[in-house]
Structure 1
């Protein structure tokens, strides 16, 4: 037991001291793995314990002004990240885009974009908070919580280990989808009648499915390229994660748009 514990401790220091990207040491909430763990645990406790208890005897809050500001900010930030990722992708190899860890102004800029991406994943957690405060606890599904919770860790790994290279493909697709998704949310708050436009929601779900299929293949190919110097932690995490998300989103899509349509006929 002592030997196993010793190896775990040694592995921890090897991973988080020797394998980390030292350029991100000074980023807020990025210096230690215990920071995203604390955020994740606090998020779960907040949405499953504190907020449900807080809302038990209260009417739903009307948060339209806050939601307009929040959604507009998310649209602008995600669109900015998507635009810059699109510019960067034009210089990368789609089969194996290695990370340039040299401390140049351009590489620093790419790493800062990765950090902003991580911050957007933390901001995404407010979606759940807003659902509960507005009395929509039913929308706090396993898919919703799992996706937001998982992105805390994935975003943090992006800063510490894979800030650039092949990671840009993930950032490009994900920020593009989120800019569209939050634009839809913005419209439904600003003009509630847009909620009746079911085709918007349907196509956004299709976009989310397509992005995970894209992740599965763009990272899956790296598993068959032993000479590619992109860190193996990327495909080892993203490939199974993408497959699982395809199953979850596929099940949601079938129940919401296919099965429900059959029942309504």
Structure 2
């Protein structure tokens, strides 16, 4: 028993040391990036997420319980057009940052050391920071739901998606500072340009909403987005690309979970309704 216990302890210790060594090799520190707003410490980011959850799940519904829904048409119009412009700006950064396209495709699998290409990587890290900020901005979606008494839209998918993206994007920029999510961010920002354009048109009122027949295709676009991201990250892993393996595995697992949740949402929202319409 003592021998077995010793073997188990040694195995556990070896695995722990291997994991820690692998993690230390994958972490990247940069004094300039780590000095940016929100990047010094996890406390501000996690505080925002906690306050967000308290408001949308407890405090917000409570204060709106005996109140009429707030008319937020014009704040929503302004918010949606800002989101369209901001996401379009992030998409443009990929094409306007000197050397970004050539660098990404020439060193897609085996990126250059950070020390040999620091200036370009700092510019790409700035784009990642903007992307992270856009995920903080996305939290406003749920606040609008609560203030408009649309609590049924505050689903597990919606909450998990927003919280996960905030925390994952922060952790990526704080700890990884890599390039493996550059293409994923480009795809996601493009999808958000389309999505917030739809939301802007929808917020104009019933006279426009009746022409927005393509709502369900937004979810299809998001599903395709996750399929592409999962395939891309899987290739990085299978081809043994020089990227942090632990984070790539996390991205694959997270993408699969998002894909499952969005497919379930699509089936519940659209497929069942279409079947019901055929029966009626």
**TM class by shorter-chain length?**
0.7 to 0.9
Flag the 1:166–1:191 CA change in 2: closer, same or farther, 3 A. same
Structure 1 contact 78–176 (Cα < 8 Å) conserved = yes
Question: TM-score, with normalisation over the residues of structure 1?
Answer: 0.87
Structure 1 contact 99–162 (Cα < 8 Å) conserved = no
Of 118, 122, 127 in structure 2, the residue corresponding to residue 108 of structure 1 is 122
Unpaired runs of 5+ residues, structure 1, are: none
2:203 aligned with 1:214:
no
Of 118, 141, 156 in structure 1, the residue corresponding to residue 155 of structure 2 is 141
Structure 1 contact 99–165 (Cα < 8 Å) conserved = no
Flag the 1:77–1:157 CA change in 2: closer, same or farther, 3 A. same
What is the count of residue pairs matched by the alignment? 258
Backbone CA RMSD of aligned residues: 2.7
Q: Comparing 181-190 with 83-92, which one deviates more in the overlay?
A: 83-92
Distance 1:261 1:236 in 2: 36
Question: TM-score, with normalisation over the residues of structure 2?
Answer: 0.83
2:133 aligned with 1:119:
yes
2:84 aligned with 1:75:
yes
2:251 aligned with 1:238:
yes
Q: Comparing 208-217 with 193-202, which one deviates more in the overlay?
A: 193-202
Structure 2 contact 87–193 (Cα < 8 Å) conserved = yes
Distance 2:86 2:47 in 1: 25
Within 5 A, what are the aligned runs for 1:189-228?
Answer: 189-197=203-211, 199-226=213-240, 228=241
Distance 2:94 2:172 in 1: 14
Within 5 A, what are the aligned runs for 1:30-69?
Answer: 30-69=39-78
Cα deviation 1:91-142 (Å, max 9, x = unaligned): 4238526365347443222111110110000010010000110111111011
- Tell me what 2:181 maps to: 167
Q: Comparing 93-102 with 198-207, which one deviates more in the overlay?
A: 93-102
